């Protein structure tokens, strides 16, 4: 009788059991099977499904790549890497060109532009809900900020006036304000009026890079704050405005912005000198970001239209990762966040929005579904 096709093993032992140790797909002589049937088989290897561990609750410390079946929820799960944005709670006041600070579970949104006027309100995020914080002293938009929810810093920006282009209506401010989690107080003034600068660092060691001074002059200078006064820092190679910033005062990162057209340029700061870094994959201005010089996120912004693009920097190059759910520009990020946990909020889609998104990346328990 020729051969019989089988897809489990390559031979049958003299005991009548299948030997599944040598392979999966092959032909076996019909003479090896009595009456060309499996009537003499006394044992059969388990199916792949039978090899998956069944547990009533998820393992407390799973290993990467581990798979199990949860008998309580009746779902197949795994422990693997994932990254993406999830919807968070909306801000109470939709706003754009605002400052951001804090972390994903302790965020801070400062001032900004809503409808025709800049709200002076501060909002605090607890990981799910925004609530009112202390009133900001000088309401403004195109403002820069950094720090944490209980030690925030905000500077520059345009005053809260109608956008009607009258004399001096677009001249920035020199005001700096410090937040203690409850109240804003005046800090040291900038050397010159500025708006749309990149921000990095903390309240007592902050970095402001580029922006606009006067009515329309793009600047390449940077300034450093020590908790009481601003002093001159190194000059960037590319003058620009509404760019993204991340890192610290002595290891800063500036990227994107308008020159006046959108740029992909990235520059790294060592506390005294700016040098070229890897360019963004998508040139844009009105961008937000988070993280460190060697591990940063850049998200949102404006190309010729609003973009949802998100990129991750490793200290050398940018990699495109999962996009925001809402494409927008002039949004803010949680400056004390990271590439594993960050916050994006506000901006204009249009219209002006208070939408909040939470970025989470890393190993975690995932439910395996059929798609």
Contact at 8 Å (CB) between 327 and 353? Answer: no
| Whether 12 and 147 share a structural domain | no
Residue 71's contacts (CB-CB under 8 Å, 6 or more residues apart) are 54, 55, 56
Residues 252 and 332 reside in one and the same domain: yes
Residue 95 has pLDDT above 80, yes or no: yes
What pLDDT is attached to residue 362? 86
Number of structural domains in the chain: 2
Two structure tokens written together for 25:
């797909």
Residues 32 and 108 in one domain: no
Do 87 and 31 have their domain in common? no
Report pLDDT for 296: 97
3-state secondary structure of 337: coil
Residue 162: HSE in the Cβ half-sphere, 13 Å Cα cutoff:
4
Mean pLDDT across 219-235: 98
pTM higher than 0.85 for the full model? no
Residues 198 and 253 in one domain: yes
Distance CA 293, CA 253 (A): 5
Domain membership flag for residue 51: no
pLDDT tens digit sequence for 129-188: 999 999 888 889 999 999 999 999 999 999 876 455 444 456 789 999 999 999 999 999
For 32-85, what is the HEC assignment? HCHHHCCCCCCCCCCCCHHHCEEECCCCCCCCCCCEEEECCCCEEEEEEEEEEE
For 329, the 3-state DSSP assignment is strand
Task: Judge if 226 and 123 occupy the same domain.
Answer: yes
CA distance 325 to 309: 9
Residue 70 lies in a domain: no
Q: Which domain holds residue 218?
A: 83-365
d(CA 356, CA 128): 9
């Amino acid at each position: 009788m020729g051969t019989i096709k089988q897809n489990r093993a390559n031979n049958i032992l003299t005991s009548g059991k299948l030997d599944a140790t040598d392979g999966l797909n092959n032909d076996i002589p019909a003479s090896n099977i009595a009456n060309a049937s499996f009537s003499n088989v006394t044992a059969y290897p388990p199916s792949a499904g039978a090899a998956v561990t069944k547990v009533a609750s998820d393992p407390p410390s799973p290993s990467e790549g581990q798979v199990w079946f949860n008998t309580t929820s009746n779902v197949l799960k795994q422990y693997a890497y994932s990254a993406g944005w999830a919807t968070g709670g909306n801000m109470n006041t939709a706003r754009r060109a605002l400052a951001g600070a804090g972390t994903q579970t302790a965020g801070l949104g400062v001032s900004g532009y809503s409808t025709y006027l800049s709200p002076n309100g501060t909002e605090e995020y607890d990981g799910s809900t925004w609530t009112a914080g202390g009133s900001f002293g000088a309401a403004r938009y195109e403002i820069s900020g950094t720090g944490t929810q209980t030690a925030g810093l905000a500077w520059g920006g345009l005053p809260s006036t109608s956008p009607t282009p009258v004399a001096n209506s677009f001249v920035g401010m020199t005001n700096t304000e410090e937040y203690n989690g409850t109240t804003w107080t005046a800090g040291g003034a900038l050397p010159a009026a500025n708006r749309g600068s990149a921000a990095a660092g903390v309240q007592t060691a902050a970095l402001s890079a580029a922006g606009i001074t006067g009515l329309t002059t793009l600047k390449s200078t940077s300034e450093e704050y020590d908790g009481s006064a601003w002093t001159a820092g190194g000059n960037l190679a590319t003058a620009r405005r509404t760019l993204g910033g991340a890192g610290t005062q002595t290891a800063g990162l500036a990227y994107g912005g308008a020159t006046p057209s959108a740029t992909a340029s990235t520059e790294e700061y060592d506390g005294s000198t700016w040098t070229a870094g890897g360019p963004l994959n998508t040139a844009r201005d009105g961008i937000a970001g988070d993280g460190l010089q060697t591990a940063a996120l850049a998200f949102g912004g404006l190309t010729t239209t609003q973009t949802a693009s998100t990129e991750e920097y490793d200290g050398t190059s940018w990699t495109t990762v999962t996009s925001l759910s809402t494409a927008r520009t002039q949004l803010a990020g949680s400056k004390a966040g990271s590439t594993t946990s960050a916050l994006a909020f506000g901006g204009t889609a249009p219209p002006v929005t208070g939408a909040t998104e939470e970025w989470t990346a890393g190993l975690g328990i995932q439910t395996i579904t059929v798609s």
